[in-house]
Amino acid sequence: MNSQNAVHTSIAVIGGSGLYQLFEGADTEQIHVPTPFGTSVVLTQGSLGGRKVVFLPRHGSDHSVPPHAIPARAMIWALAASGVTTLISTAAVGSLNPALPVGTIALADQLVDRTHGREDTYFDGSVVRHLPFSDPFGSGLRALAVAACPDVVDGATVVVVQGPRFSTRAESQLNRAAGIDLVNMTLYPEAALAAELGIDMVALCVVTDLDSGERQEDAVTADIVFARLAEARPRIVSAIERIVQAVPADYVPRELIDRAAVVEVLGAEVR
C-alpha cells in the first residue's frame, strides 16, 4: 500500500462532532494514505477493547471541516485501500421523536438524503454501477452492534441535511410529520460510499438536542451540542468498544457492488 506505514486491522472508527480522539495513552501510529481525490488521509492506529483499530475524526482534529466540505470520497477510499471492512461511525443528531430524548444513543437503520452537491459515488466515470441501498445499515455488522449494546436504541430513521446551519422550525416540522426520527448533517454520502467499496457500517447516533424544537427554548445551538457530546463521551466510547469486541476476526462484509468494479476503483492499492 502506498503509505508511510501499514494498517493492521479491518476495523475503523470515524468520530463525529465531539469525538476527535479515541485512544488513551501514547501507543498509537499515524498512517498517511495518499488518495486520488486531491488529499491524503491520516489514520491513527491504536488499541481499543484489546483489538487494533484505526480512527479518523470526520471534521478534523479541531472541528475545522464543515459538513458539506468533508472529503468523504477520500476518507472512505483510504479505509478500503487499507483493508478496512467494518466501520463504526458516530454522529451528533437532533431528535424529532419524543421516544428518543436528549442523551439517547441509537443505531440508525434507515436514511433519507436531503443534501446537495456532494460527491456521493465512485462510479461516475467509465465504470458504472448502481448501488442497492434499500437497507443502508442492514448488514451483519449492525446485528452484532445491536446484540453488543442492549442499552442503545435499536433502529431510527435519520435525515441528512446539508448544513452547516441547523433546521428552521418549518423544516423540523416537515421532517417530524414525515415520520423521521433524527436529523444529522454528515452520514451521507459516507454510508453510500462505504457500501460501494464493500465496507459494512453502523451509525451510532447521539441525540444532543431537539432540532429546532417545538418550543422556542428547545431550539438547538452549537454550544448545546458540544456540551452534551462532552457529557456523553464515556457512553459513546463504551458502545464503540463493545462493538469492536463483537466483530469476529473472520467477519465478511456485504458485497453490494461486484468485486471487480471495486478493485478497479481502488487500483493497485487494493489488498
211 is catalytic: yes
Q: In the numeric block, which cell numbers belong to residue 64?
A: 475545522
Catalytic residue among 109, 135, 209, 250: 209
CA–CA distance, 142 with 236 (Å, rounded to integer): 16
Say whether 69 sits in a helix, a strand or coil: helix
CA–CA distance, 190 with 144 (Å, rounded to integer): 20
Cis peptide bond N-terminal to 164, omega within 30? yes
Burial of 140 (0-12, 13-18, 19+ CB in 10 A): middle
Catalytic residue among 109, 181, 200, 211: 211
CA–CA distance, 118 with 185 (Å, rounded to integer): 12
Q: In the numeric block, which cell numbers belong to residue 128?
A: 458504472
250 is catalytic: no
Backbone angles phi, psi at 35, to 5 degrees: -130, 165
Write down the H helix ranges in the chain.
72-81, 140-148, 169-177, 187-196, 222-246, 259-266
Category of 52 on φ-ψ map: left (φ > 0), alpha (ψ -120 to 50) or beta = beta
Residue identified by cell 417545538 is 214
CA–CA distance, 160 with 158 (Å, rounded to integer): 6
Say whether 53 sits in a helix, a strand or coil: strand
Q: Catalytic positions, please?
A: 209, 211
